Amino acid sequence: MSPEQLPETTLTKTDFKLFLECPREFWLKRYHPEQIVTPIDAHGRYLIRQGYEVEREARALIAREFSVDALESQYTVTFENLLARFDILRMNDDGTVAIYEVKSSKHIPRLESAKSKREKREKNLYDLAFQVHVARLSGLVVSEAFLVTLDGDYVRGEDLEIEKALHFEDVTEEVTGLHRDVQLKVSEAMSVLQNGPGDGFEGLCKAKLKCAYFVFAQPELPETTIFDIPRISDKRIESLRRQGVLAVEDVPGSADLTGTQMAFVEKCKNPPPRMVDIHGISAILSELEYPLHFLDYETVNPALPKFRGMRPYEQVTFQYSVHVVESEGSEPIHYEYLSDGTGDPQSDLLKGLREAIGDAGSVISWNKSFEIKQNELLGRLFPEYAEFIDSLNARMFDLADPFRLGLYFDPAICGWSIKNVLPVLVPGMNYDDLDIGGGAAASALWYMDVFEGTEDKQERMKQLREYCSQDTLAMVKIFEVLR
C-alpha cells in the first residue's frame, strides 16, 4: 500500500516515531505536509542509501546464517488503522517469526551511561516495539525481536567482514515490556489526529516555539520568547506566564532569573552595536608565521568502512584545498587534491599535502578542531606521516576565533559560520553561484560519484574543486580584512 493510498488515520512506525518526538509536528505532517515536508537533497539521498546498504548486508548475512534462500523484506501487515513494514522478517519452521529492525547507527549498550545515547537507544526500542505490537495484533506469533546496528569498535582489514561489522542484539524481552506503553501512546497519537494537538505550550519539543507547528498555527508569536532563555526552568516559565509575559522584550527587570539569563534578556532588548576589538584581533594574529597555509578538507563518513584500518562512520578525507601566502602582501598560490575514487584516497592526499605545506609556517583553518581530528586519524592510518602530522597540528590556527570569541561582532553576521561571515566582511563574495553550496552536499556527491557511479562525474569533480577552493580563498579574504 503506497503512502497516498493510506487512510487518513493510519499510523505507521515513521508516524509513531514523529509523534513521540513532537505530537504537534506529527499532526502538522498529516494534515498540512507542505508546511514540514521538504525535498530530499543530496545529503538526504546519501543517508537513505547508507541505510539501504546496511540493511542489504544484514539480510544477506541472516540468509547465510539460517540457510535460507530469501527473507521477507519490507513485509507489511496491518491491523485496523495500524501498519507495520518490517526491515527483515524471518519465517521459522514452527510458524513463528523473528523481526529485525536495522539501524545504520552504532550499537549502544543496554547499560550506556551517557544520557543522549540512552535516549537514542530507547527510541530504537520503541521503533521495534511498535512493529512487534502491530505484528502480534495482526496475528503473527513473534518469537524474537532483534536490533541490528553497527559495531563501532570494528576495524576493517583488507576486506569487509560483515559478520564483525554488524551487531545483533536480542531485545525481545525489552520490547515486550514496552507493550502496554506502546498501546497507550498509540491511543494518544490517534487522539491527536482526531482532535488536534491543542493550543497551549505544554509538552514542547526541543524546537520549543520555533516548532513548525507554531510557525504555522500561531504566526503572530514573538520572534524571541521566554522559552528561548538559556536553561530556564518550568517553574520560572510558569511564573512569567502568570504575569502575562511571553516575549523576551517584556520580561521585567525584577524577574527571578540567573545572571546569565538576565544578560540574554538584556541583549535581546538592546542588541549591541557593531564592535571590532582591533587590539584583541591583532594580538591573536601576531601568533601567525609566514608562509601562511589556508587549509580545508572535505570528508565523508560511510556507515560501513570502505578502506583498511577504518571504523564505521569514521571520516574519509578525500579532498583538500590549500591557498599559500608566502609573505605579507604576496598573492596566494593554490594547491589542491581531489580523489577520483581509485583506492584509498588518503595516502596520495597526505603526499600532496606535505609537498604543499612543508614544515614551516602557520596552518589556518576554520574551526580547526575538525582538521586536527582528521589529522590525528590520518596519523593512525599512515604512521609514516606521523612526524609531519604532529608538526601540522602544532601549527594550526583557527580563523573563526575572532568571531567566536566576540572580538569581531556585527549584528549582520548570524553566527560564526564562514558562509555567514564572508558576505559581510567581503561584500560580493559568497557561495550563492556555486553548484555545491555546503560540505554535506559535497561529501554525499563525491561518495555517490565514486561508489555508485554517475553520468556527470567529471562535471561533479569540477564543482567539488570550485567549492573547496572557495572555502580557502574565503579565509584568505577574511584574513586580509582582519589584518
Residue 209 lies in a domain: no
Whether 297 and 162 map to the same domain: the answer is no
| Residue 90: C-alpha distances to residues 79, 93, 146 (Å) | 20, 10, 11
Based on the domain organization, do 260 and 329 belong to the same domain?
no
Same structural domain, 187 and 113: yes
**Are residues 382 and 415 located together in one domain of the fold?**
yes
Please check whether residues 259 and 378 belong to one and the same domain. no
- Global pTM reads 0.89
Using CA atoms in the order 146, 151, 157, 161, what is the torsion angle rounded to 10 degrees?
A: 0
Range of the domain at 243: 222-269
* pLDDT on residue 39: 81
Residues in the chain with pLDDT values less than 70 = 1-8, 69-70
pLDDT of the residue at 211: 92
Query: Strand 333-338 to strand 88-91: parallel, antiparallel, or no bridges (unpaired)?
Result: unpaired
CB 407 within 8 A of CB 373: no
For the chain, how far is it from start to end, CA to CA, in angstroms? 62
Question: What pLDDT does 3 receive?
Answer: 45
pLDDT score, position 7: 54
Angle at which helix 115-137 crosses helix 13-21, to 10 degrees, equals 140
Alpha helices in 66-211 (DSSP H): 115-137, 162-165, 172-177, 179-195
pLDDT, position 70: 61
Concatenate the DSSP letters of all residues of 271-308 into one string: ----EE-HHHHHHHHTT--SSEEEEEEEEE--SS--ST
Residues 234, 173, single domain; the answer is no
Q: Are residues 320 and 414 in the same domain?
A: yes
382: closest CA among 344, 330, 337? Answer: 344
Question: Rounded distance, CA 342 to CA 451, Å?
Answer: 10
200 within some domain: no
Decide if 202 is inside a domain.
no
Q: How many CA atoms lie within 13 A of 320 on its CB side?
A: 29
DSSP type of residue 379: H
Residue 42, SS3 per DSSP: helix
Does 180 share its domain with 326?
Answer: no
CATH of the domain at 84: 3.90.320.10
Could you tell me which residues are beta bridge partners of residue 101?
A: 147
3-state secondary structure of 408: strand
82 beta partners: 11, 79
Spatial separation of the C-alpha atoms in residues 380 and 377, rounded to whole Å: 5
User: What tens digit of pLDDT does each residue of 219-275 get?
Assistant: 999 999 999 999 999 999 999 999 999 999 999 999 999 999 999 999 899 988 999
* 205 found inside a domain: no
Is 206 a member of any domain? no
Select from 214, 245, 269 the last residue of a domain: 269
Domain boundary among 240, 269, 298: 269
Report long-range pairs for 419-423 (Cβ below 8 Å, ≥24 apart).
Answer: 421/478, 422/474, 422/477, 422/478
Nearby residues of 52 by Cβ (< 8 Å), 6 or more positions away: none
Q: Identify the pLDDT of residue 133.
A: 97
CA dist., res. 75 & res. 461, Å (int): 39
Three cell numbers, residue 280: 584583541
CATH number of the domain that 358 lies in? 3.30.420.10
Query: Closest Cα to residue 320, out of 394, 378, 399, 404?
Result: 378
Q: Which of 324, 350, 328, 326 is nearest to 337 (CA)?
A: 350
Both 156 and 10 in one domain: the answer is yes
**326 shares its domain with 243:** no
Residue 8 has what pLDDT? 63
Report the number of distinct structural domains present in the chain: 3
User: Do 294 and 385 lie in a common domain?
Assistant: yes
Measuring CA to CA, which residue among 35, 107, 32 is closest to residue 313? Answer: 107
81, 143: one domain = yes
Residue 199 lies in a domain: no
Whether residue 150 is contained in a domain is answered as yes
- Could you tell me if residue 211 is inside a domain? no
Measured between alpha carbons, how far is residue 142 from residues 68, 90, 99, 135 in Å?
19, 10, 7, 7
